[in-house]
């Protein structure tokens, strides 16, 4: 099973940059998109139908903002929206689909880069997400949690680890949360398969940083520990230029 996660920074904009042809070439079994920035009524569903995918959309109530969508070649046997907390669910941040007995959680964690108020909102999300997903794990057993976490884990996951400006996304409290995440029930598929490799998944549009590869690794595919031996490969698809992010893929033998 080939899974791809991709923050497209607007699905309609990404389609204009050749996203559909790229998906057809990569041919994933499941592709999870974040920051779709479209309400379901105006979503480009026919394009994904023609590509051969079943689709589930979870849009934000605010138009042109946030949202996630999951596409799978196999029809999902179950799905669910959000995490039962209105202030997060209104922003279209968590979507669960069950495929082949595995529950895929497509997540777009809040960004705190616009100011302290949003950083605190992000920390509230993290505080609520951890016990919620642990309860999901008790119920559903086999989980894969993919998406834009908006957090750098280790110093090797950012091009300038000694920076002093304390940006949201690289603060000690967020990185500590991710430490706990990967030490309790979940495995970072990319880091498991590439323990020493330095690669990034996001670059600011400013100052030509992508060409210089001055980026951050903030997009992850986390698998519950009972699935980590099923991982056969994982990496970044850095030849995709539809967004300020690049896709992350993982292949699992199920």
The residues that are catalytic are 148
Distances (CA, A) of 199 to 15, 129, 150, 196: 25, 26, 15, 10
Q: Contact, 105 vs 185, CB < 8 A? A: no
Residue of 216, 239, 243, 218 whose CA lies nearest to 107: 218
For residue 158, the 8-state DSSP code is B
Q: What is the DSSP string of 117-156?
A: HHHHHHHHHHHHHHHHHHHHHHHH--EEEEEE-----SGG
Report the distance separating Cα 225 and Cα 102, nearest Å: 13
* Residue 206 vs residues 74, 168, 212, 213, 214: alpha-carbon distances, Å: 39, 17, 11, 12, 11
């Amino acid at each position: 099973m080939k899974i791809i996660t991709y923050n497209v920074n607007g699905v309609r904009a990404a389609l204009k940059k050749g996203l559909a042809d790229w998906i057809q070439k990569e041919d994933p079994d499941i592709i999870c998109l974040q920051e779709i920035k479209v309400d379901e009524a105006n979503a480009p569903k026919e394009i994904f139908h023609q590509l051969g995918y079943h689709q589930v959309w979870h849009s934000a109530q605010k138009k042109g903002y946030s949202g996630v969508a999951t596409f799978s070649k196999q029809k999902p046997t179950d799905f669910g929206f959000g995490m039962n907390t209105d202030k997060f669910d209104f922003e279209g941040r968590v979507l669960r689909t069950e495929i082949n007995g595995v529950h895929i959680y497509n997540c777009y964690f809040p960004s705190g880069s616009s100011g302290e108020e949003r950083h605190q909102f992000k920390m509230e999300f993290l505080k609520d997400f951890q016990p919620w997903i642990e309860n999901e794990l008790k119920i559903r057993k086999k989980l894969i949690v993919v998406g834009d976490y908006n957090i750098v884990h280790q110093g090797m996951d950012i091009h300038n680890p000694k920076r002093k400006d304390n940006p949201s996304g690289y603060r000690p409290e967020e990185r500590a949360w991710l430490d706990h995440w990967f030490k309790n029930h979940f495995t970072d598929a990319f880091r498991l398969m590439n323990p020493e490799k330095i690669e990034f998944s996001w670059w600011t549009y400013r100052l030509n940083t992508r060409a210089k590869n001055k980026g951050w690794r903030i997009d992850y595919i986390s698998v519950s520990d009972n699935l980590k031996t099923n991982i056969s490969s994982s990496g970044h698809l850095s030849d995709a230029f539809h967004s300020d992010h690049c896709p992350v893929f993982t292949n699992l033998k199920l």
